[in-house]
Structure formats: structure tokens, C-alpha cells
Amino acid sequence: MKHLTRRRILAAAPAVLAFGGPLLSARPARAAKKYGPGVTDTTIKIGNTCFYSGPASSYGTIGRAMAAYYKMVNEQGGVNGRKIEFISYDDAYSPPKTVEMTRKMVEEDHVLLDAGPLGTPTNSAIWHYMNQNKVPQLFVSTGASKWDDPKGHPWTIGWQPNYHGEGIIYANYILKQKPDAKIGVLYQDDDFGKDYLRGITDRVGTKGPAKVALAASYETTDATVDSQIIAIKAAGCDAFVNTAIPKFAAQAIKKAAQIEWKPIHVLSSIGQSVAVTLKPAGLENSVGIVTDFYLKDPTDPQWKDDAGYKWWVAFMGKYYPNGDKTDVNNVYGPSNAATVVQVLKQCGDELTRENVMRQAANLHNFQVPMLLPGITINTTPTDFAPVKQVRMARFSGQRWELFGPLLTGEIG
Amino acid sequence: MQLFLQQVLAGLANGAIYAGMALALVMIFLAIDHLNFAQGEMATFSTFIAWQLLAWGCPYWITFVLVVAISFVGGIAIERVLFKPLHNADILANLVAFIALFSILNSADGYIWDYTIKTFPTPFGSKPLFGSVLIDAHEAGMLVVTAVLLGLLYLFFSGTRLGLAMRAAAHNPVSARLVGIRVGWMTALGWGIAAAIGAVSGMLIAPVVFLDPNMMFGVLLYGFAGAVLGGMTSPGGAVLGGFAVGVIENMAGTFVPYVGRDLKLTIALLVIVAVLMVRPAGIFGRTTVSRV
């Protein structure tokens, strides 16, 4: 006989009613197990959307690294004896396509949950759909602060430190160096840029002595941000928070050097890649810039004897041999997937969508190998921000060097 | 005052970027009377070829000449293969072909060279010019090259037989054909020149904005704005229009309070709408009258 699932039992119900009988006796034995869509005694089907093509396809490796992690989990026996079936669709960073693919995975593939879908605009496009249909939108791979909204959107939960919290951390750092700093901010004129700006202004406040002297926005269609940098310098700023995407962040660093402007320069985690941002901007122009980290940077030699890093190298070697071992996205993927697996483990045999969200909001001191030492994942029914801590790092001219304690993005 | 000067010069530097693109747009418009949406992607593709040659160790100026030549031939090839068959087709068919070309080239860039940004060397160096922080050597070089390019085009169109033939073919194809000008080839030549200009502007822009498959996307919008402002039928006007858009954009962003910075593109485009309402052919454009 095939495995009994809730749906099969329901489908069989008329027959049972018609014949009275023997099948009914099977139900109490199965009562301990409660399954939602996509779950059987041997498998759990989960979905995902990622950018495997299109303008942002360099992030596509996140989805591949996630798949590699689930493959590893399956080879090691699965979650409570069930194999994970990971269905990842390409949305090409195009929100309408995300909607299409997500509906397909929910309505045709009947997945239990959507695990770590990538991108802010893409996740925004399915935000209401997932909450209306009560499908877990688990650990979305984006740093917007709006995912931490357990009341309004109880079926969506973030994962990484959010931009608003990072903005607060950057302002904290600047105020510690210079309590009367005049801060200039370069931000993208959309949700994610404004999240950063809001964090900074929330922390700096209006009373002084420090203030945000000039917040200059850019559009992704701008040719350069030279004009913005000139204006920020001219406003007399002695601190600069650079929250631009890599291309514009690099232009800003280069322009600041060219006009001989040397503020306290904070670069957001969006643009912190040495290869993608700092090298084009000029490593010599980038010395002394600070940023924040929560994952172990795979190019940082200080981790070479670290147990977590060694695990990651072995994992990459065996399950994702084509993956770039210098790309932090390949650290991100498995770390995010590990959190999904932890939730499924905690669900036990009650693999319903309701219980998935209950367990996602019930993580305590969960450790992931490639998170910085001391950072743990914690959630509660009123706290949907799993990773909250970061550490600051300063660029030496060759690499980022961590300094200072673990920080959280809270005011006060 | 320093702020004003810096913003004007930064605007001119951006303007030089837009002007190069505007010039290429006008070249094709003169030849075929349509706007080439794929112009930016053609330039990006040329720049990637240059990047590849440089990565293989080819010296800068040899690469420069080689890429301009390759782009010229490539432009002609595109016209012969893709657009000649569409010569008498509906404007919508042409439009679709432009968009197809856009997306083919953009995806090809990404497929071959991936999407991460790349640095591109400058032949002029990036030291401040004359020790001033106002403008650096590359920005100054860009202004000079744009001026030289414009001068060469002027000489070509007013002083050579081929240039005259091209103008004749564009102005009055029927009469041109009657006096023995091969109008089809003149069109192809227009494509070749536009592709070559695009290659030059791509190679000049890349050191500033960094090279990636979407490098020209925003630039094309501003370049189009510049071309419309100056006049779609006037190469000199297009260049001036490009510079004007760069400067207006920076002035609006810096000196218009509250809305200026967030809406600087909008303000630049509003200026253009205003110009078009007064002079639909653009400031330097020639008004075309067609008999109905």
C-alpha cells in the first residue's frame, strides 16, 4: 500500500464512508503525524526562486549552493528520515516572473514552503500572495526591514541583518569616532536605500550635535554619482555612509579620492566585496574604509584553521565543486539552507505550514558554521529577524580586518 | 563658487558621455530615419571586445584602432544581415528588430563576460589635471576626443565625396539613386560609422562608469535626451545637447531645493519637453516637411 498522507486520507474518505470499515482503524495510528502539502513519510518538497539568468545572475550561485546543502542533508539521511526535494525556479530578478514561478510551485508542485527566495523586489511581489494563501515565505534572502513584521505578515520571515539595523550600526560607529559628525549619505532611491537612510537618521536624531548634513540619492540609470559626491563634500561632511550597489559604490570611492576628500568612510554590506567593488575603485583608495560582517569572509586567512571554515571547504569540495570558493554568496546559500533544515527538524512529524511558522519563530541559539563566532540565530513570535549581530571590519589595503565586539542594530 | 565650477565640470564630463551616445544615435537616424534602441548595447559589445583584447595583452592604441575597425565592419554587417531585408517593412517590424538586437547583444555580453563590473584602462591617466581637483586627465581627454570626433565628422560630411553622397542619400534617396549613388550602401555606411562612434564612446566611458553588460542602459536614455534637445538631424546639435543635459542635470540636482536631487532626471527631461514644444526639431535640427 502507498503511504497515507492527509490528502490521500481525505480523498479516500467517501470510500471509507461508503464501505464503513477497516480503513478507519488506520487513522488513530497515524494521528501523531500531521502533514501539510508536499510532505510524505519519506519526502518534504520545498520551493525557491533565484536569479539564474538576467542582470543579477551573479547571485544565482546562492540557489546552487542551497541545492548542494540539501543534497548533503539527503545523503546524510535527510530530516527525521525524510529526504528534501528542493525545487528552485529561475525568476531572472524579474518580479512578475517571481509571481508566476511561485504560483507554479505553490499550486502545481504543492510545496510545503518557499525556502530562502532571493531579492527584495522579487519577494515584495509575492509577499501578499504568500500571506493570503498562508504559505511560509521562509528566510527570504534580502535585507529589507519589512520582512520583520510578525503581526502584519505572519507567513514571511527574514534571515540576514536588515538594512535599517545596519544603518543604526553605521551611525553608532560614526558617533563614537566623532560625536559632532556631519554625515553624508549616498543611497539608492528605492526601498533598500531608504531603509539604510532611515536607520542612520533614526539613530542620529534631530537634537545634535551630530547630524545628517546631506543625503544624496542616485538612480540606477545614472551614469555616475560624481555630482552627488561633490555635493556631499561641499556640504562640509566629515563622515560618509556609502550604501550604493557595487558599481556606484566603486565610483564614489574613486571620486572621493580624486577630489581629495577623506571622511570617515563607512561602506554598506551591499558593496563590500573586495573583488567587485574595491578592486575597480582602487585598493589604495579604499584603505581605512569600514564595513560590517556577519558571515565569515572565505578570502580572510584568519579562518584557515577555523572548524566552521574547514567544514565549508569540505562541503564545497564534495557537493558544489564548481562553486567559487572566494564568493561569499556560496557561504550565504548553505547558511540560509541550514536554518531551513533546523526548522524542519524542529517540526518533527507535524509538518504543516502552521507548525513550520511556529518553529521558524522558535529558534534558540542556533549556530551555523559560517556565521562569525558568537553570532547565533534567535527568533520569537514577535521577533522575525533571525540574524541580528554583526562585527565591524576595516580595509587594510589587501583585505577586511575585523575589529571590536559583536553589535546589534538597536538604538540606545 | 568652487561647488558651482565643480558641478559644471562634472556635468560636462557626464555630458561628454551622453554626447558620444547622442552622436551615434544621430548618425543612424540620419541614415535610416529611425532611432536605434540597440545603439548602447552595440557600444557595450565593442567595449567588451576591447576589454578582451587588452586582457590578452594587446597594447591600448592598437586595441583602440582595431576595435573601431571591427565595430565599423560589425555595424555594416548588422545592417546588411538584419535591417536591409526590413528596408521597406513597417516601422513596428524595425522596432522589434531593434529590441531583439538589444536583448541579443545584452545577453551575449553577460554570457561571454558575466555581469560583474570590470575596470577599463584610460589612455590619459586619472591624475588631476594641472594639479586641480576640478577635473582629471581622463575627463579632459574625453572632452577633447568628443570635439575631435565632431570635427572629423564635419570634415567628412562637408568635404569628401563620400560624405556628400551619404547626405544626399539621406536627404533625398530617390534623386540620389538617379545620380548614381548606391543608397543601400550609404545606409550601411551610416551604420558602420555609428557603430564606430559608439565603440569610441564606449571605450571612453568605461574607465569612468566601469564596464558591465548594462553599462549603456542609462546613458542611452540621457543620450537620447541630448539628441532630441540638440536636434535628431544635427550631429553638432546632438553633441551640444548631450553636454547641456549633463550640466542641467547637475545644476538641478545641486541648486534646486528639495526636489532637485531626487528628480534631477525628471527636471532634465522637462527641459527637453519644453524645448520640443517650442521647437519640435530640436534647437539645431532641420525641420522636415513631407508632402502628403
What pLDDT was estimated at residue A275? 80
Interface of B with A in 54-73 (CB under 8 A): none
CATH classification code of A32-161+314-381: 3.40.50.2300
What pLDDT was estimated at residue A12? 45
Cell for B189? 555606411
Closest Cα in chain A to B218: A221
Chain A nearest CA to B74, separation (Å):
25
User: Is residue A32 scored above 70 in pLDDT?
Assistant: yes
- This complex has an ipTM of 0.83
Report whether A84 contacts A44 (CB < 8 A).
yes
- Look up residue A57 and give its DSSP letter: G
Beta-carbon separation of B209 and A57 below 8 A:
no
Closest CB to B115: pick one of A55, A216, A251. A55
Q: Average pLDDT of B193-218?
A: 90
Q: Is the dihedral of CA A264, B4, B144, B163 positive or negative?
A: positive
User: Is residue A127 scored above 80 in pLDDT?
Assistant: yes
* Best CA proximity match to B123, nearest among B50, B40, B218: B50
In whole angstroms, how far apart are CA A331 and each of A56, A59, A252, A295, A371? 18, 12, 27, 7, 9
The span from the CA of A316 to the CA of A82, in Å, is 23
Q: pLDDT class for A151, splitting at 50, 70, 90?
A: very high
B211 Cβ partners below 8 Å, 6+ apart? B44, B47, B48, B51, B117, B118, B119, B120
Q: Which residues pair with A220 in a beta bridge?
A: none
Query: Which is more confident, A204 or B262?
Result: A204
Beta-carbon separation of A259 and B133 below 8 A:
yes
What pLDDT was estimated at residue B70? 97
Report whether B268 contacts B222 (CB < 8 A).
yes
B2, B6, B216, B221, best to mutate vs chain A, most A CBs in 10 Å = B6
What strand order describes the sheet that includes A83-90? Answer: A83-90, A43-50, A113-115, A137-138
The verdict on B116 touching A (C-beta cutoff 8 Å) is: yes
How many residues belong to chain B? 292
User: Is residue A264 scored above 50 in pLDDT?
Assistant: yes
The verdict on B104 touching A (C-beta cutoff 8 Å) is: no
Q: Give me the DSSP letters along B157-180.
A: HHHSHHHHHHHHHHH-HHHHHHTT
Q: pLDDT class for A129, splitting at 50, 70, 90?
A: very high
In a domain, B258, yes or no: no
Query: Which is more confident, A179 or B126?
Result: A179
Percent of chain A with pLDDT over 70: 92
Q: Which of A394-403, B25-34, B169-178 is modeled with the greatest confidence?
A: A394-403
> Which residues in chain B are closer than 8 Å to A57, comparing Cβ atoms?
110, 115
Mean pLDDT of chain A: 89
Beta-carbon separation of B128 and A258 below 8 A:
yes
In whole angstroms, how far apart are CA B292 and each of B108, B280, B289? 43, 19, 9
Beta-carbon separation of A247 and B117 below 8 A:
yes
- H/E segment holding residue A396: none
Closest CB to A223: pick one of B3, B17, B118. B17
Report whether B105 contacts B81 (CB < 8 A).
no
Strand, helix or coil for residue B118: strand
Residue identified by cell 492527509 is A6
Sketch the domain layout of chain A as residue ranges. 32-161+314-381, 163-293+391-408
Closest CB to B254: pick one of A55, A221, A231. A231
Closest CB to B117: pick one of A230, A231, A280. A280
User: Is residue A5 scored above 60 in pLDDT?
Assistant: no
The span from the CA of A381 to the CA of A190, in Å, is 29
Q: Average pLDDT of A77-104?
A: 94
Closest CB to B117: pick one of A230, A250, A259. A250
Strand, helix or coil for residue B57: coil
**Enclosing domain of residue B209:** 2-215
Same fold, A32-161+314-381 and A163-293+391-408: yes
The span from the CA of A196 to the CA of A217, in Å, is 12
Report whether A266 contacts A234 (CB < 8 A).
no
Residue identified by cell 550565504 is A332
Total tally of structural domains belonging to chain B? 1
What pLDDT was estimated at residue A271? 87
Q: Counting runs of H as helices and runs of E as strands, what totals does chain A give? A: 14, 13
In a domain, B46, yes or no: yes
> Which residues in chain A are closer than 8 Å to B17, comparing Cβ atoms?
223-224
C-beta neighbour count of B137 within 10 angstroms: 16
Q: Where are the alpha helices (DSSP H) in A143-240?
A: 163-177, 191-204, 226-234
User: Is residue B166 scored above 90 in pLDDT?
Assistant: no
The verdict on B114 touching A (C-beta cutoff 8 Å) is: yes
Query: Which is more confident, B115 or A31?
Result: B115
Can you give the C-alpha Rg of chain A in angstroms?
23
The verdict on B126 touching A (C-beta cutoff 8 Å) is: yes
The verdict on A227 touching B (C-beta cutoff 8 Å) is: yes
Can you give the C-alpha Rg of chain B in angstroms?
19
Q: pLDDT class for B69, splitting at 50, 70, 90?
A: very high
Query: Which is more confident, B40 or B128?
Result: B40
The span from the CA of A119 to the CA of A93, in Å, is 7
The verdict on A258 touching B (C-beta cutoff 8 Å) is: yes
What confidence tens digit (pLDDT) does each residue in A199-211 have?
999 999 877 788 9
Beta-carbon separation of A223 and B261 below 8 A:
no
Architecture of domain A163-293+391-408: 3-Layer(aba) Sandwich (3.40)
Percent of chain B with pLDDT over 70: 93
